[in-house]
Amino acid sequence: MCGILAVLGCSDDSQGKRVRVLELSRRLKHRGPDWSGIYQHGGLFLAHQRLAIVDPASGDQPLFNEDKSVVVTVNGEIYNHENLRKLLSNHKFRTGSDCEVIAHLYEEYGEEFVDMLDGIFSFVLLNTRDNSFIVARDAIGITSLYIGWGLDGSIWISSEMKALNDDCEHFECFPPGHIYSSREGGFRRWYNPPWFSEAIPLTPYDPLVLRKAFEDAVIKRLMTDVPFGVLLSGGLDSSLVASVTARHLAGTKAAKQWGAQLHSFCVGLEGSPDLKAAKEVADYLGTVHHEFHFTVQDGIDAIEDVICHIETYDVTTIRASTPMFLMSRKIKSLGVKMVLSGEGSDEVFGGYLYFHKAPTKEDFHRETCQKIKALHQYDCLRANKTTSAWGLEARIPFLDKAFINVAMDIDPQWKMIKPDLGRIEKWVLRKAFDDEENPYLPKHILYRQKEQFSDGVGYNWIDGLKAHAAENVTDKMMLNAQHIFPHNTPTTKEAYYYRMIFERFFPQNSARLTVPGGPSVACSTAKAIEWDTAWSNNLDPSGRAALGVHASAYDPQPTPTAVGSVLPKIVNNKPNMVEVCAPGLTIRS
């Protein structure tokens, strides 16, 4: 992922202001260590920190149209850029960059072109003919983006809020699927798929259609001119990403450049469930597997850096981000610059265990819609910023626009969890890849029960974080928490500890307001309790469930015909710690 910074409509066009914009842009250099660029037109500045994935030789930014009257700075990947170039045959391209199409599409179609883009992106486009500009963010919010306002009337845009927090009077998260137009003076939504209205779909489930849509989503993400791999925890989602990638890698441009054997990566404490499961899947798929170990102390030592990079104090997100942050550094040290990851599946298919208690298909569907809409605040934020911290890009096929349209158009009756019929969570996805003649994965992996990433990396990880927080936050501090932190008041010592660190880096009120709060938003605890009051005893934000609640979600007498209806396994005399409702998840399925 690259880093972009724009200052638009500034009253100061001096050399001093240019130097200041460059200084702030350097705060994003971790996102784009390969090259820096800046464009100035009067009081309008567009800066860019580049991570070169496609066309490393000539794709430096900002990018231009033919006469350089249209200027664009982009963070993202446009997977359909070759097809778009064909539509723009009357235009002259200067680079092989996938992002250059944006400038030419604007010339050809005006501000309405954004929905033509298939990819992940945040961009600022300046039309120097009239000094108008547009800003846009991808459909789900996989790329991070913030907008701020200066006292002089200027508008600031940045990939991360650390480039805004000292110079803006107010800043906030730029909403996914939206465009900001200076001509209109505000936001409008460009992403309006049928599922967004939360109307209940009626399309029958077709496993082959779903499988094809996911394979297409993976294949288009193999567009790269640099070494890449997959994140593999051994859970369903990451294993499917790895399996499809391994099948289709041969014959691609990437395989010709870097070899047809896929590289996979996993992180965990010594002896963790993830390490064992990932090794099994890697052996089955024949990947070149890289296993990274860390200790609880390694993770604790990294917490401050993690919070500085991910820019949140959400407990679940920090727990899951830290191992991913450490792993990303190791991956980048191997020369890899892009990875495919498995986020988004649980939101699309209702993979959290509280979905077992959804009373109707309407409730089930609407809750998945809400989960997808909140992803940019949790899983997308984590995946984007923990990898970008080390100049690594994460691509997420489960959140492909076309795939989501197919998956969310399925009658939710098929997604409902019905143990009596052998349908565990995400059954429609598992069934789509249950190919007896040409298996994608072993059966026990394909129908493996869910386990959250924070516990999958090692059961001592969360316990170690809680113990460390207890040593640094006193009972007296907790008594005064509501006075110190009146907004989103931390209710645990762990949350208080993270909040203290966050406030040190980001003391502005705007910063604390970018982090959502309240149980109904943060992890759907309220929804889980609404569906079944038994969940009220399981309010840890990680979603760790008591053994009784967890077991009750499944058939207590599993049979060979009810594939996946299993009791929780016991590891080191501990019940399997499973995800109940936390959106801040997953490499793990």
Q: Which residues are annotated as a binding site for L-glutamine?
A: 98
Tokens found for residue 315 = 């407990």
Distance CA 493, CA 482 (A): 13
What single DSSP character describes residue 460?
H
The dihedral through the CA atoms of 373, 375, 380, 381 has a sign that is positive
- Two structure tokens written together for 205: 């489930």
Q: Which residues are annotated as a binding site?
A: 98, 231, 267, 341-342
Q: How many Cβ atoms are within 10 Å of 301's Cβ, its own excluded?
A: 13
User: Residue 302 and residue 461: Cα distance in Å, rounded?
Assistant: 13
The SS3 assignment for 79 reads coil
Which helix (H) or strand (E) element contains residue 570?
strand 570-571
Residue list, annotated binding site for ATP: 231, 267, 341-342
**Do 584 and 376 contact (CB within 8 A), yes or no?**
no
How far from 223 is each of 81, 93, 181, 249, 295, CA to CA, in Å?
10, 19, 30, 11, 35
Q: Which of 584, 288, 561, 367 is CA-nearest to residue 454?
A: 584
Contact 310, 318 (CB under 8 A): yes
Q: Is 409 exposed, middle or buried (0-12, 13-18, 19+ CB in 10 A)?
A: middle
* Nearest residue to 253 (alpha-carbon basis) of 548, 54, 528, 418: 54
Q: Which ranges of 41-161 does DSSP label H, i.e. alpha helix? A: 81-87, 101-109
- 3-class SS shares of the chain: helix, strand, coil, % to 5: 45, 15, 40
By annotation, the residues acting in catalysis are: 2
Locus of tokens 């108008």: 132
Question: Residue 106's CB: how many other CB atoms inside 10 A?
Answer: 19
Contact 43, 12 (CB under 8 A): yes
Helix (H, G, I), strand (E, B) or coil at 269: coil
Is residue 180 helix, strand or coil?
Answer: strand
Best CA proximity match to 540, nearest among 245, 316, 311, 297: 316
395 token code pair: 């691509």
